[in-house]
């Protein structure tokens, strides 16, 4: 289960600059203070206390010595170009300091100074100037408005957070990357209070240059970091973020992330905070899922997942076996596992029989309830535990001993039994739920068990380990083949033209004919077979149904003739300037399931495909799934199967099974089309698409391709 | 906000017997042991240690003295009839001990002994005998298979739980009632470890006699208990449970409850554990909501709610105001509040302007982000806090200071500011999210703030306080009027007869006529207007569509004639023995929204009404709401509005608004009908019901009344 040798990082991640930032051989502190409680004094005091292994170079025009260190009057007087610099001067002086540092050849600067983009337009302009200066000289910038960072491996504490007043973290494998300073340090403080081991913690603030994605990428190849915990209010740069997640997955490093701004209120707050751009939340969900990132909803959940992940046991195809001294807890755990989607298959029948022989009144299925009887004969823990792991074959085992596990009359002997179990199966995920005093909990943890007081929290964390395992085990999906003969028109095409363009990409529409005259329409309807659908045909009318431009169930020649006239009349009155090319006559499909396939351009992640069922499923229930374009048919099918209403396509309640493979093929091709189309494509709507019964295909009954007028 | 004088308890709660059990003047211990680690020794040791105020009467045939107390050789030799007795003898002797105690006049017995209904049929029979003995002599029974109980008010520790090895609880206002022994003590241990004050804790085990409902009822009138935390795997007796919840609500005592067995797996485990009967989970949800009980999904959530509830501030119409030093936390809290359904309205504009004047770079809407600047000038906490409470008028305030609130350089001054705020608004719910060392957290708690490290947990608990407040503030719903002229047929009626019966209850069906002959059917169709629906009419065919017995959209006289013949032929072939009364001709409704209204008989709670939208909403999405019968129109309307698909009835996306008042009237009348019908009614299905556009009513298009053949 060891990590493979590290993968080649994708280009575009600024790993060298980040090494200078996180492990500098020297650090200049601009605005250094002799007062350890001040913003320019705290990092120096912390580095001195934690034995920072590099050189600290305080810069202060008024004092020759700062906290016992030789100070320099100006950046120019520094004895060397420092790897890193901390800028802790007021906003008015920050630009000059930045320029001098950059000119001096500093590799990376941490800017504590606030008063930039978070304060509006003038601040944003000042921030842009900082970035321009840094870029010109090849210096990288963390912040401005950053609380800084620390690295426990080398004692580098480039931060002024007050969270260190209550103690420094244990060194350990968890790296924290947070956009928000206060919240990043909240995360860190909770982690420290729980005794978790931290490798480094970085807050990116306004992200003028370096962002959370860059930091995740650095941690993904940092030998000291094995688990990455991240927090963001909005991703600014898809490139570094996706490269970082990809590298972390290839290096088998789990990433657990909070991305806030889910709610309407939350999104509004996120836009005003740190001048952030909050992407659409459902898209974020889809992107995180694509890379096997576990999205945590609460700080506690994020820390639980990180705490368990440091065991480095990530069972693909995870299942849960439960050993409990309480039937009630067994039920509770079963509920939590089902809600999480973590399977709890029963023990094999023969193993159950053996357990029943060992302990007549146990419930041996799963949860395995060994009853309080086990507390009188603790050797049963070993026997039952062996059976669960060996016979049950579960990826993860949760052992619930509650307060009994912490009772002084029981703990020492229980510990002995559990150590044996741990030693016998070093590669299994073994989690304890006990209530005990902190020293006993530490002992269990040292023995290799992660301990949770609340079994529901244990279940959620265990489930996350399986999701990591699945992501690490999966092959990277093969890129779908490019579409031949691809072309995008100069402007938004008519429906008929849109369908022709899509047909060349293999996306089929219902059989139809464009008819300029009524008698052509009658002939077309007779050729296609009644009933037909009539639709006004104009490149200038995108939303036909809004002007009454669609007639369904037209059932004979006379009705076609009447309908043709009616549509032209409606178009003329609703859109007098529209170019009218005639009427589209299409075969009316029946017996299919109505779906919606679409693409929109996410401002961060580019084209994103959507799948949903028609009508109220999308409009009222928002029962849709998303995925970044392009993707292949297996991913498309997974999208289709993931919506709540999927049973409607899969034969629920005696319905015919729909042609899901054809639908997946259409969705995948749509994603490739959107990807190849580039930024001129604003969006595509295929609404409705009829998924016909098995083997009979899927057909778009309407198609809109929206070309961005102002795209380059 | 003080509790009103206690309400008159409903009859049926065994309050006197429970007082004997929880506050006995004397307790006999049958199977008393001198060894404090043994089941018969632990309660005596605990009572001696905790200064139990009554008389302990050990019974042991072999020893004259037990743990320094005079022991008695037999129950017969006891110097008095004890209020309570603990039975800690093996199963083989338990029945005799029960009989002797009952004959002696003992008021209540706690039976630790296991080996009864939890072990199957023979055990259930032995348990029934225990109950019969107890009943005959008027003795009440806790257990068997109970871990016992304790009451911190008088030091009565009638329990052998090992959870006390790590300490006794603080005395306080939280009462715990749990069916499961191990899980009840898990709850208690977590509460104790968090320093929460406990009044009493009772585990009911097999519930041969006393059950969780009885205990909730006792706590609801116990002056020492102000908050009730309950756990159950299944309610056995609706009577005592509902009476207890009603009493708790009238006495303004919040009840927070875990009812496990939500999942399929969980339900299966619950049925096998403690021989429990797990009611349908959605019904449990509905019943708890009806009484304002907050249902917790995890132990942690249950304890969070109980811990905050002891402040006794329950804001009806709760809203949340947030003061934060971290914009990120503000977003996170907004997300959590929206997910919980807790509104966060913005501050008034003029108050925002004042705050912006005080602190130019604050975000004053809500969350109010006072930025880390507040840490430099803590008087801002008071100014901002006053404004949030006074100007914002929020029911609850959450103050997020994270690690800064626990930093030694900040905590003492912050505490002063917060104390002033607390003193100024004693009746507001003020909650802190800080990370601090335990002594500092205790100080904040003593000042009247409840402290949560994780702000998401704070939000969930705050939301629960509002739900309690709403339940306490609400008038008890007026009982709906009884139906006049009510009658239920002897056996399951035909559709036409079912509709006539329901029509007398004011439940309208689509206009229709029962027709014995084809020409009658043609005449009926012409009178009703085409198109019509034809349905086979037989008291023996309940599910007509399964045999093809329904024809929709029959549009002229010839089609009626053909359809009549077709239905008779299908019925004859599918159900040759069925009595065929002809064909029902009904007006085909159009333009309405298809709904399903139904009633089923829950084994515990009796008739329960269901509302949902038609078709896939019920079948695939399970988007339905339930409520115990009977109920009035306001409750019916709340049920209708609570489903996810409700926007379909309320005019979503340009749809016509449906006649929801008519639908609510129908649903309420259905509930009254089901209530009056009594146990002979097995169920009712009105499927579909058409909710017509506003003002046009709601009509059942089909009706099935299912009469239980075997009901008394």
Predicted confidence (pLDDT) per residue in A243-295, tens digit: 999 999 999 999 999 998 766 555 555 444 333 333 468 888 999 999 999 99
Contacts of A653 in chain B (CB under 8 A): 619-620
Average pLDDT estimate for B494-507: 91
Asked if residue A670 has pLDDT above 90, the reply is yes
Q: What is the pLDDT of residue B52?
A: 97
Give CA–CA dist A643/A638, Å, rounded.
Answer: 9
Asked if residue A403 has pLDDT above 80, the reply is yes
Bond before A486 cis per omega within 30 degrees:
no
User: Which of A273, A453, A653 lies nearest to residue B190, judging by beta carbons?
Assistant: A453
Give CA–CA dist B265/A320, Å, rounded.
Answer: 12
Distant-in-sequence, close-in-space partners of B562: CB < 8 Å, separation ≥ 6: none
Residue B447 — pLDDT band, cuts 50, 70, 90? very high
Q: What is the pLDDT of residue A371?
A: 84
Q: Cβ of B326 under 8 Å from any chain A Cβ? A: yes
Question: In 3-state terms, what secondary structure has residue A293?
Answer: coil
Give CA–CA dist B611/B618, Å, rounded.
Answer: 9
Asked if B272 and A363 come within 8 Å (Cβ–Cβ), the reply is yes
Bridge partners (DSSP) of residue A363 are: A369
Q: What is the pLDDT of residue A619?
A: 73
Please name the residue of chain B whose CA is at the shortest distance from the CA of residue A649. B620
CB < 8 Å from B in window 634-663 of A: 644-645, 647-648, 652-653
Residue A68 — pLDDT band, cuts 50, 70, 90? very high
Asked if residue B1 has pLDDT above 80, the reply is no
Average pLDDT estimate for B692-703: 93
CB A584 within 8 A of CB A537: yes
Residue A456: CB atoms within 10 A of its CB come to 23
Asked if residue A553 has pLDDT above 90, the reply is no
Chain A interface, best mutation among B181, B331, B411, by max A CB count within 10 A? B331
User: Which of B180, B264, B647 lies nearest to residue A326, judging by beta carbons?
Assistant: B180
Please name the residue of chain B whose CA is at the shortest distance from the CA of residue A334. B266
Q: What is the pLDDT of residue B321?
A: 98
Q: What is the pLDDT of residue B302?
A: 97
Asked if A263 and B332 come within 8 Å (Cβ–Cβ), the reply is no
CB < 8 Å from A in window 215-254 of B: 231, 233
Give CA–CA dist B89/B99, Å, rounded.
Answer: 13
Asked if B456 and A297 come within 8 Å (Cβ–Cβ), the reply is yes
Burial code (b: 16+ CB inside 10 Å, e: under 16) for A111-128 equals bbbbbbbbbeeebeebbe
Q: How far is A122 from chain B (nearest CA, A)?
A: 14
CB < 8 Å from B in window 377-416 of A: 402-404, 406-410
Asked if residue B548 has pLDDT above 90, the reply is no
Count of CA atoms in the C-beta half-sphere (13 A) of B486: 16
Residue B483: CB atoms within 10 A of its CB come to 18
User: Which of B186, B190, B409 lies nearest to residue A326, judging by beta carbons?
Assistant: B186
Q: How far is B366 from chain A (nearest CA, A)?
A: 9
Domains of chain B: 15-309 (3.40.50.261), 320-473 (3.40.50.261), 511-587 (3.30.1490.20), 593-707 (3.30.470.20)
Q: What is the pLDDT of residue B689?
A: 95
In terms of DSSP bridges, do strands B69-70 and B65-66 run parallel, antiparallel, or are they unpaired? antiparallel
Asked if residue A96 has pLDDT above 60, the reply is yes
Q: What angle do helix axes B660-677 and B633-642 make, rounded to 10 degrees? A: 120
Average pLDDT estimate for B282-298: 94
Burial classification of residue B167, based on how many CB atoms lie within 10 Å of its CB (0-12 exposed, 13-18 middle, 19 or more buried): exposed
Asked if B262 and A193 come within 8 Å (Cβ–Cβ), the reply is no
Question: In 3-state terms, what secondary structure has residue A670?
Answer: helix
Q: What is the per-residue pLDDT across B656-669, written as a single tens digit (0 to 9) for each?
A: 899 999 999 999 99
Task: Please choose, from the candidates A473, A569, A474, A589, the residue with its C-alpha nearest in 3D space to the C-alpha of residue A529.
Answer: A589
Chain A interface, best mutation among B41, B275, B328, by max A CB count within 10 A? B328
Q: What is the pLDDT of residue A16?
A: 86
Give CA–CA dist B178/A286, Å, rounded.
Answer: 41
Q: How far is B37 from chain A (nearest CA, A)?
A: 9
Q: How far is A119 from chain B (nearest CA, A)?
A: 7
Asked if B647 and A620 come within 8 Å (Cβ–Cβ), the reply is yes
CB < 8 Å from B in window 168-197 of A: 178-186, 189-190, 193
Distant-in-sequence, close-in-space partners of A700: CB < 8 Å, separation ≥ 6: A499, A502, A507, A508, A509, A510, A597, A666, A686, A688, A689
Backbone angles phi, psi at A312, to 5 degrees: 60, 35
Give CA–CA dist B532/B552, Å, rounded.
Answer: 7
CB A423 within 8 A of CB A448: no
Burial code (b: 16+ CB inside 10 Å, e: under 16) for A633-667 equals bebbbebbebbbbbbbbeeeeebeebbbbbbbbbb
CB B322 within 8 A of CB B368: yes
Give CA–CA dist B149/B22, Å, rounded.
Answer: 8
Please name the residue of chain B whose CA is at the shortest distance from the CA of residue A272. B363
Chain B interface, best mutation among A231, A269, A282, A641, by max B CB count within 10 A? A269
Average pLDDT estimate for B8-32: 89
Contacts of A190 in chain B (CB under 8 A): 435, 453-454
Q: Cβ of B687 under 8 Å from any chain A Cβ? A: no
Across the A:B interface, residue pairs with CB atoms under 8 Å apart total: 283
Q: Cβ of B275 under 8 Å from any chain A Cβ? A: no
Contacts of A186 in chain B (CB under 8 A): 326, 329, 402-403, 435
Asked if B645 and A119 come within 8 Å (Cβ–Cβ), the reply is no
Asked if B435 and A231 come within 8 Å (Cβ–Cβ), the reply is no
| pLDDT above 90 as % of chain A | 74
Q: What is the pLDDT of residue B197?
A: 97
């Amino acid at each position: 289960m060891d990590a493979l040798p590290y993968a080649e990082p994708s280009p575009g991640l600024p790993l060298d600059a980040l090494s200078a930032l996180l492990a500098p051989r020297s650090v200049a502190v601009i605005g250094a203070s002799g007062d350890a409680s001040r913003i320019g004094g705290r990092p120096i005091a912390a580095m001195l206390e934690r034995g920072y292994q590099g050189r600290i170079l305080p810069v202060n025009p008024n004092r020759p010595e700062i906290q016992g260190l030789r100070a320099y009057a100006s950046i120019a007087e520094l004895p060397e170009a420092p790897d890193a610099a901390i800028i802790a001067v007021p906003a008015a002086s920050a630009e000059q300091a930045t320029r001098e540092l950059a000119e001096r050849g500093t590799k990376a600067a941490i800017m504590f100074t606030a008063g930039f983009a978070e304060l509006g337009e003038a601040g944003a302009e000042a921030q842009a100037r900082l970035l321009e200066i840094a870029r010109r000289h090849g210096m990288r910038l963390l912040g401005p408005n950053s609380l800084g960072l620390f690295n426990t491996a080398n004692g580098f504490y480039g931060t002024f957070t007050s969270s260190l007043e209550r103690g420094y973290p244990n060194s350990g494998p968890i790296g924290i990357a947070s956009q928000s300073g206060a919240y990043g340090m909240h995360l860190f403080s909770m982690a420290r209070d729980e005794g978790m081991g931290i490798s480094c913690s970085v807050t990116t603030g306004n992200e003028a240059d370096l962002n959370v994605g860059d930091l995740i990428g650095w941690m993904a190849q940092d030998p000291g970091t094995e688990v990455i915990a991240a927090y963001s209010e909005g991703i600014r740069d898809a490139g570094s973020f996706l490269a970082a997640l990809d590298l972390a997955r290839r290096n088998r490093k789990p990433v657990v992330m909070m991305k806030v701004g889910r709610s309407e209120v939350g999104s509004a707050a996120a836009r005003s905070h740190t001048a952030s751009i909050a992407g659409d939340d459902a898209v974020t969900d889809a992107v995180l899922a694509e890379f096997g990132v576990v999205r945590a909803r609460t700080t506690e959940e994020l820390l639980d997942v990180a705490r368990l992940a440091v065991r480095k046991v990530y069972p693909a195809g995870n299942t849960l076996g439960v050993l409990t001294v309480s039937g009630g807890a067994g039920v509770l755990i079963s509920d939590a596992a089902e809600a999480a989607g973590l399977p709890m298959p029963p023990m094999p029948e023969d193993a159950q029989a053996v357990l029943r022989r060992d302990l007549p009144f146990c419930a041996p299925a799963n949860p395995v309830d060994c009853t309080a009887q086990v507390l009188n004969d603790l050797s049963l823990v070993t026997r039952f535990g062996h059976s669960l792991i060996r016979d049950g074959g579960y990826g993860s085992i949760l052992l619930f001993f509650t307060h009994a596990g912490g009772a002084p009359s029981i703990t020492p002997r229980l510990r002995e039994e559990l150590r044996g179990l741990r030693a016998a199966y070093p590669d299994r995920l073994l989690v304890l739920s006990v209530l005990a005093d902190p020293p006993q909990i530490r002992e269990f943890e040292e023995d290799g068990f992660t301990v949770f007081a609340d079994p529901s929290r244990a279940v959620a964390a265990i489930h996350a380990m399986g999701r990591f395992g699945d992501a690490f085990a999966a092959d990277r999906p093969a890129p779908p083949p490019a579409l031949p003969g691809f072309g995008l028109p100069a402007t938004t095409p008519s429906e008929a033209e849109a369908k022709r363009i899509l047909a060349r990409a293999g996306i089929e529409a219902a059989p139809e004919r464009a008819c300029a005259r009524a008698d052509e329409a009658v002939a077309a309807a007779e050729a296609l077979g009644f009933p037909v659908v009539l639709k006004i045909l104009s490149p200038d009318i995108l939303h036909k149904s809004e002007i009454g431009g669609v007639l369904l169930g037209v059932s004979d020649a006379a009705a076609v003739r009447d309908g043709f006239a009616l549509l032209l009349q409606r178009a003329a009155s609703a859109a007098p300037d529209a170019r009218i090319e005639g009427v589209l006559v299409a075969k009316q499909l029946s017996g299919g399931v109505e779906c919606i396939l679409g693409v929109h351009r996410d401002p961060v992640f580019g084209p994103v495909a959507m799948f949903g069922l028609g009508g109220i499923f999308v409009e009222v229930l928002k029962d849709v799934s998303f995925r970044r374009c392009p993707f292949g048919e297996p991913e498309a099918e997974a999208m289709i199967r993931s919506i709540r209403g999927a049973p409607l396509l899969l034969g629920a309640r005696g319905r015919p099974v729909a042609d899901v493979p054809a639908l997946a093929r259409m969705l995948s091709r749509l994603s490739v089309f959107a990807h190849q189309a580039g930024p001129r494509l604003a969006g595509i709507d295929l609404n409705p698409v009829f998924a016909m019964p098995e083997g009979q295909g899927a057909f778009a009954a309407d198609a809109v391709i929206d070309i961005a007028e102002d795209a380059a």
